[in-house]
Amino acid sequence: MTIIITGTSSGIGFALAEYFGKKGHKVYGLSRKHTESNYFSSIPTDVTDLNAVQNAIAQILKAETKIDVLINNAGMGMVGSVEDSVKEDILKLFNLNLVGAVQMMSAVMPNMRTYKSGKIINVSSIGSEMGLPFRGFYSASKSALDKVTEAMRYEVYPWNIQVCSLHLGDIKTNIAENRVRTKVSEPYKNIFDKVYALMNSHVGDGTDPLEVAEYVNKLLHKNQWKAHYYFGKFGQKIGVPLKWILPQGTYENLMKKYNKLD
Ligand SMILES: NC(=O)c1ccc[n+]([C@@H]2O[C@H](COP(=O)([O-])OP(=O)(O)OC[C@H]3O[C@@H](n4cnc5c(N)ncnc54)[C@H](OP(=O)(O)O)[C@@H]3O)[C@@H](O)[C@H]2O)c1
């Protein structure tokens, strides 16, 4: 298979690209930094730059006939209170987590339509299903991508193209270092420091990215995809159904405890 993965210079994307390359697939990794690997071809690309995205896909299609899979993995986090957040940071986040992913999908769609097949995985977060404290815009950016995924499924199924959101729990990567960090104002400082330490410790104790690759491999072997898949520790995944089952107040109290806000 020909598989294009974004955000392959580190973390989950690097693990995915090496995993599928080792399995003998033709893998192209797109991130801004060039990455040396024996298992995949790195094409330095900023996915927020439409020209760069189109050039990268044109370069791939000089060597390959058909694009089988796109994994939209490039993304970043953002931390800070909603009140303190500024337009520049919010736009930077949405420009990568939403617009970058959409530009990649638009660039591969003509090829997938021609061959009446293709699979697209949009890497989302369990946190897209609920507004996480001090990560409101991260939740919102992934939630926006989920809604685009849901809508697109209706639009592209006539060509046998499938799209899904893969919601991840905490995975042990450098995401904490690469987050957009909003300047925290005095009223939020104490509570933010507690929540921030906790969120970093969750990532530090997170699942190995290789396990994500194994899960994605299973997903690629499924014939019919649902819109949403959830991968992570039980304690994180359970937050999704609980939000719908529990009374809203009970759910919020549970989230306050989980995030040490009480
Ligand atoms: N780690 C977690 O706990 C977790 C949980 C849920 C969801 N996720 C999602 O998983 C995905 C991967 O995250 P990660 O944890 O592996 O983080 P990471 O180690 O920080 O990797 C992010 C990747 O995105 C790339 N990237 C950033 N801006 C880019 C741009 N403009 N164009 C192209 N590539 C760009 C980076 O490469 P360059 O800097 O070289 O461009 C890097 O390879 C993200 O979408 C994240 O939201 C992660």
- pLDDT tens for residues 106-118? 999 999 999 999 9
Percent of the chain whose predicted confidence (pLDDT) is above 90? 95
| 6, 8, 12: residue to mutate for ligand 1 pocket, most atoms within 8 A of CB | 12
Ligand 1 centroid to residue 242 C-alpha, Å:
28
Nearest to 164 by CA among 112, 109, 220: 220
> Domain spanning 2-258: which superfamily?
NAD(P)-binding Rossmann-like Domain (3.40.50.720)
Q: What DSSP element (H or E) covers 51?
A: helix 50-63
Residue recorded with tokens 């995975």: 171
HSE-CB of 120 using CA atoms within 13 angstroms? 29
The residue contributing the CA closest to ligand 1 atom 18 is: 175
Residue recorded with tokens 């639009």: 155
- CA pair distance 9, 30, nearest whole angstrom: 8
* Region 163-170 average pLDDT: 98
pLDDT at 262 over 90: no
The residue contributing the CA closest to ligand 1 atom 23 is: 7
| Residues classed as catalytic | 9, 124, 138, 142
pLDDT tens digits, 197-216: 999 998 889 999 999 999 99
Q: Which residues line ligand 1 (CB under 6 A)?
A: 6-13, 31-33, 45-48, 73-76, 96, 100, 123, 125, 168, 170-171, 173-175, 178, 203, 206
The percent of the chain in helix, strand and coil, each rounded to the nearest 5, is 50, 15, 30
- CA pair distance 209, 63, nearest whole angstrom: 29
Output the pLDDT for position 260: 86
Q: How many residues are recorded in the chain? A: 262
